[in-house]
Amino acid sequence: MVLPSPDFTTRQTTCRASSLTLTGGREQFPTMNPTLKESTLPVAQETLARMLDRMVPAGADDADLYLEQSSSESLALEEGRVKHVSASTHQGIGARVIKGEVSGHAYTDRLENPALMECARAARAIAESSKQTTPISIHPERPHHQLYQPTNPALVASMPERKALLEKLDRLARTLDPRVQQVFANVSAAFSSIHLIRMDGSHLHDARPLVRLNISVVVEQNGKRETGSAGGGGRFDLSHLLKGDEAERLTREAVRLALLNLDAVAAPAGPMPVVLGPGWPGVLLHEAIGHGLEGDFNRKGSSAFSGRIGERIAAPGVTVVDDGSIAERRGSLNMDDEGTPTGCTTLIEDGVLTAYMQDRQNARLMGVEPTGNGRRQSYAHPVLPRMTNTFMLAGRDDPKEILASLKYGLYAVNFGGGQVDITSGKFVFSTSEAYLVENGEIKAPVKGATLIGNGPDVLTRVSMIGNDLELDPGVGTCGKDGQSVPVGVGQPTLKIDEMVVGGTDS
């Protein structure tokens, strides 16, 4: 999902940043710092108040300080044993001042007074050099909601426990089929403690867990090799993977996909009806129209959807939302990175464009309310309007009837990579699991199929919407302007009357 996107124009300066990283495969595994106190400010309130006093010019539209303490650990298995263990920690503060369309952003990983005051001065210098006259008093505020437990997920399971999990999955994959030749597995856990101090002195805190498991297998038959992969995760602790059957299910799925590819035939090519499966195929929706509905592109007029609020842009029955308030989902947040509570924003309702996703700056400039979509990769990055969990709501059609209606076409169940042009809406996506369908019956898996289309156009060609909405398993990472953030996607089974399929069958 990390796909190229047009640049977000902003001015920023850098006060130097670095991170402490430890990598190795030693017997003594590195461990996340158990003494990290999620709710304790790493900088004195008096110092933060002085930073705000120094950095906020008269007439500023917005300003904030973003303090982050993050740690992550990852174990990777290869050739039957854990070969790679890594752990990293970083902390720092980002200072941001907004005046009109100018955003001044500076950051530092040094939390001593001289560096902090220089960071504040630099952010202010970009926005405007005038003086704030009203002293700022910092006061705590409670988050709007609590969608996940504020617990460091790595502290729930030891390194040996995670190592044992990966070795167990390796053994399982090899026993499922003798054609399994190689197994690669990775389990990661991350935890971020975020403190946001706003221009009015309000202090918000969020403690964000994130875990993920990936597994990939290589199978071989008669000299032919194929690969299958599966993964999952979310904002919960590692017990979700250690105690349940999710890890085993993902392993079985990876083996199934690899074996399926051994029997795949050449993909057909040309215009044809396409049925998209539920869940992860929503990544096509995310890329084909999701980025085009972000506020900055529409304010600047560079999106295919600019200035079209109130217009029909999709077939009747198509309703698309962005919802960052779903408990424990990978793309969910208690608050966005500007302190705005996340919620459910209806972007398209019954085919009509109703809203864009907004951060505070773009919302103010467009005369609307922020939607809780202001996000940044870390303290060292500027805020951009970004998706959280973006998906199409369920319809009324039976998925079996949708497939039965397909006389000849493609049934695309899973996707790999792809790319999209925000201005035109044109996209190209490769499938990782797809089938040829004739007279409503699945005939054979196909390999090498790509879907080519235009986001604004493809939504008008939706003719059937399933009642089987699913969200993805928790593997999405979205790229924009060089920043990567975790996201979620989803959709029900969809029938699109015509798309161009690029294949290998001539």
14 contacts 110 by C-beta, under 8 angstroms: no
Tokens of 56: 């906020």
Q: Is residue 2 part of a domain?
A: no
pLDDT of residue 41: 85
Query: Which residue's entry shows tokens 């050449």?
Result: 266
For CA atoms 492, 494, 499, 504, give the dihedral sign: positive
The predicted-structure confidence for 448-494, as pLDDT tens digits, reads as follows 899 999 888 999 999 999 999 999 999 999 999 999 999 999 999 99
Tokens of 400: 């079996």
The predicted-structure confidence for 128-180, as pLDDT tens digits, reads as follows 754 554 556 667 787 778 999 888 988 888 999 999 999 999 999 999 999 99
Q: Which of 235, 262, 289 is the last residue of a domain?
A: 262
pLDDT of residue 34: 38
Helix axes 246-262, 159-176, angle to 10 degrees: 40
The predicted-structure confidence for 181-239, as pLDDT tens digits, reads as follows 999 999 999 999 999 999 999 999 999 999 999 999 999 999 999 999 999 999 999 98
Q: Are residues 271 and 258 in the same domain?
A: no
Question: Could you please report the per-residue DSSP string of 343-367?
Answer: -EEEEEETTEE---B--HHHHHHHT
Least confident segment among 47-51, 277-281, 287-291? 287-291
Q: Are residues 238 and 277 in the same domain?
A: no
pLDDT of residue 18: 28
Q: Is residue 4 part of a domain?
A: no
Query: Which residue's entry shows tokens 């409670």?
Result: 142
Q: What is the mean pLDDT of residues 23-47?
A: 54
Q: Are residues 410 and 449 in the same domain?
A: yes
pLDDT higher than 50, residue 33: no
For the chain, the domain total comes to: 2
Q: What is the mean pLDDT of residues 347-365?
A: 97
Q: Which of 218, 241, 262 is the last residue of a domain?
A: 262
Length of the chain: 506
Q: Is residue 301 part of a domain?
A: yes
Quick one: 175 exposed, middle or buried, by C-beta within 10 A (0-12, 13-18, 19+)?
exposed
Q: Are residues 389 and 293 in the same domain?
A: yes
Most confident range, picked from 132-136, 238-242, 331-335: 331-335
The predicted-structure confidence for 413-431, as pLDDT tens digits, reads as follows 999 877 778 777 788 889 9
Q: Is residue 5 part of a domain?
A: no
Q: Which of 262, 291, 324 is the last residue of a domain?
A: 262
Structural domain of 204: 11-262
Mean pLDDT score of the chain = 88
pLDDT of residue 31: 38
Q: Are residues 310 and 231 in the same domain?
A: no
Kindly report the number of other CB atoms within 10 A of residue 295's CB atom.
Answer: 27
Q: Are residues 192 and 312 in the same domain?
A: no
pTM: 0.89
Q: Is residue 63 part of a domain?
A: yes
Three-state secondary structure of 40-82? CCCCCHHHHHHHHHHHCCCCCCEEEEEEEEEEEEEEEEECCEE
- For the chain, how are helix, strand and coil distributed in percent, rounded to 5? 20, 40, 40
Nearest to 237 by CA among 152, 308, 345: 152
CATH number at residue 177: 3.30.2290.10
Q: Is residue 1 part of a domain?
A: no
Q: Are residues 253 and 273 in the same domain?
A: no
Q: Are residues 366 and 411 in the same domain?
A: yes
Q: Are residues 291 and 421 in the same domain?
A: yes
Q: Are residues 396 and 419 in the same domain?
A: yes
Q: Are residues 188 and 217 in the same domain?
A: yes
Percent of the chain at pLDDT > 90 equals 77
82 contacts 163 by C-beta, under 8 angstroms: yes
Give 224's contacts (C-beta < 8 A, 6+ positions apart): 262
Percent of the chain at pLDDT > 70 equals 90
pLDDT of residue 135: 56
For CA atoms 494, 499, 502, 503, give the dihedral sign: positive
Cα separations in angstroms, 144 against 68, 197, 271, 377: 20, 16, 48, 22
What's the CA dihedral at 440, 466, 286, 98 to 10 degrees? 170
Q: Are residues 145 and 210 in the same domain?
A: yes
Q: Is residue 243 part of a domain?
A: yes
Q: Is residue 225 part of a domain?
A: yes
Query: Which residue's entry shows tokens 């499922």?
Result: 176
